[in-house]
Amino acid sequence: MNNILSRALPLDRSATFPAIGLGAASVLCLGIGALIAGGVLATLTAAVLFFFRDPHRRVPSGRDSIVSPADGTVVEIEEHPMPVIGAPSTRVAIFLSIFDVHVNRAPCSGVISEVHYQPGNHMDARVPASTMNESNLIVIRTGTKHVGVRQIAGRIARRVVCRVQPGQRVQRGQRIGVIKFGSRVEICVPADSELKVEIGDHVWGGRSILASLASE
């Protein structure tokens, strides 16, 4: 069933069971004449399909290019020590509204060196204090450098899904997880990287170039 749904619509697999369940319930209600309930359930089905959409992205080439790990708006850019690694880095924070695609992608090719889950709060993902929210940190080693991606739950988002593990090799633009409903994704790149975005820019996961790594 999951394969059938995936071929029909470009969806993240998280949509499979809620979409099928809500859709079936909607058809049942409409079939017995419960039009209002059926209409509400049909609307919820459409909302689930929209939220979990997973469109194909043409990933830019270029060995040193770092692409956005998520769709959304750049809300912060600051110097910050890279989590776990401790090296100087620049952190770019991206806010995802409920209208953005919530599938997360690898910003670069490399090997997953660290995955750390952090339980926490569920504050508004647009504010800096949301760094204390429930989150999942993924560190990718690319050559001799490290790039960190932190998936952060928001006020509405209550689940962060990570689909990679330490030792796994990933390719730039590869899907690495999803955050369910409004949320925030932060990426830390080495401090000597050349940034390609500014606060207020809207970016697309796997497609927009955020930075370029300094040549080794």
67-101 per-position pLDDT tens digit? 999 999 999 999 988 877 788 999 999 998 888 98
Distance CA 199, CA 74 (A): 5
What's the pLDDT tens digit per position in 146-193?
999 999 876 655 678 899 999 999 999 999 998 876 678 999 999 999
Do 154 and 128 reside in the same domain of the chain?
yes
Do 31 and 103 reside in the same domain of the chain?
no
H/E element holding 44?
helix 35-51
Higher pLDDT, 201 or 84: 201
Looking at the DSSP bridge assignments, the partners of residue 76 are 93
Do 47 and 70 reside in the same domain of the chain?
no
Do 81 and 172 reside in the same domain of the chain?
yes
| Domain housing 81 | 65-212
Count of H-run helices and E-run strands, the chain: 3, 14
In a domain, 58, yes or no: no
Active-site residue (options: 183, 208, 212, 215):
183
Rounded average pLDDT over 32-47: 82
Whether 113 sits among the annotated catalytic residues: the reply is: no
Residues ≥6 apart with Cβ < 8 Å to 97: 72, 73, 182
Do 17 and 85 reside in the same domain of the chain?
no
Rounded average pLDDT over 13-42: 81
